[in-house]
Amino acid sequence: MSELESLEGRVIAVAGVGGGLGPLVARELGARGAAVAGSDRSEETLAALGAELGLGERWDGRAVDLLDEEAVRAWCAALVERFGRVDGVVHLVGGWRGGVPLHEEPPADWELLHDLLIRTVQNTTRAFHGQIDAAGARGRFVLVSAKQAQAPSNTNAAYAAAKAAAEAWTLAFADGFEPGGATANIIVVDAILTPRMRADNPDGDFATFTPAEELAAAIAFVCSEAAARMNGQRLPLTMR
């Protein structure tokens, strides 16, 4: 790892750290020297992850309802009190509904995906904007998205539309930063291959999936000084 790719001294919040990708991202950020502040709905999940990571004082895990904007603002304030600042936010909150034609998909699917994939992005960007902007060239926001956002299929309409909205919000967020200052970028995948998926189905065909380890490394790179000139970009981590 080069000095430009080090995250030594940075404070990075990970929204949705308890999911399949979150622990690998937290581990990668921590290995590069960052203090990692993770949110999840489960205190038990956070406690177990904190013990597993072994980051000591460089770990902070808090149960946060990311659909509650005031709760997200309180999370940001608590991290500033703990660490003195927050340099970046990695947004990993996900969810999926679909697999049926557009005209058959129940409205409840859209309502769920709107909350998970759009409102949580809105709440985190609004709550952490001041800290990310104040971090200047160290400031980062990273969103993980899906190729469906730009290439929607009839059987994934609600998912694609929600992802597209989250991307548009992130690119608008990026547009608000001054040149040479903070950045907001999107990493695009087809689907994510987690260690658990690999273990549960060792003979599965995951040729087009992005390994979670590779995605975690890409996220850490985007958070580093080496990516300081990248802002408002959609970065594909796909096979095609």
pLDDT digits (tens, 9 = 90+) for 92-145: 998 888 888 999 999 999 999 999 999 999 999 999 999 999 999 999 999 999
Question: Helix 212-223 to helix 22-31 angle, to the nearest 10 degrees?
Answer: 50
Chain-centre distance for alpha carbon 161:
18
Residue 212 confidence class, pLDDT cut points 50, 70, 90 = confident
Residue-wise DSSP of 109-139? HHHHHIIIIIIHHHHHHHHHHHHHHHTGGG-
CB 59 within 8 A of CB 117: no
Residue 2 region by backbone torsions, left for phi larger than 0, else alpha for psi between -120 and 50, else beta: beta
Q: Is the pLDDT confidence value at 197 over 80?
A: no
Q: Give phi and psi for 186, each to the nearest 5.
A: -120, 130
Measuring CA to CA, how many Å separate 122 from each of 73, 104, 159?
12, 28, 17
**Stretch 30-38: mean pLDDT:** 97
- CA atoms within a 13 Å half-sphere pointing along the CA-CB vector of 27: 15
Q: List, for residues 214-235, the tens digit of each pLDDT value.
A: 999 999 999 999 999 999 999 9
CB 189 within 8 A of CB 144: yes
The pLDDT score that the predictor gives to residue 68 is: 97
Higher pLDDT among residues 125 and 212, named by residue? 125
Q: What is the pTM of this model?
A: 0.95
Q: Reduced to 3 DSSP states, what percent helix, strand and coil does the chain have, rounded to the nearest 5?
A: 50, 15, 30
The pLDDT score that the predictor gives to residue 240 is: 65
- CA quadruple 123, 76, 188, 202: dihedral positive or negative? negative
Give the max Cα distance, the chain: 52
The mean predicted confidence, pLDDT, of the chain is 93
Q: Is the pLDDT confidence value at 192 over 80?
A: no
Residue 239 confidence class, pLDDT cut points 50, 70, 90 = low
The pLDDT score that the predictor gives to residue 198 is: 77
Q: Which of 159, 157, 132 is nearest to 145 (CA)?
A: 159
Q: Which of 68, 54, 6 is nearest to 34 (CA)?
A: 6
Residue 1 confidence class, pLDDT cut points 50, 70, 90 = low
Note the CATH number of domain 3-236: 3.40.50.720
The pLDDT score that the predictor gives to residue 235 is: 95
As a whole number of angstroms, the distance between CA 131 and CA 119 comes to 19
Q: Give phi and psi for 63, each to the nearest 5.
A: -75, 120
The pLDDT score that the predictor gives to residue 196 is: 78
Domain spans of the chain, in order of start:
3-236
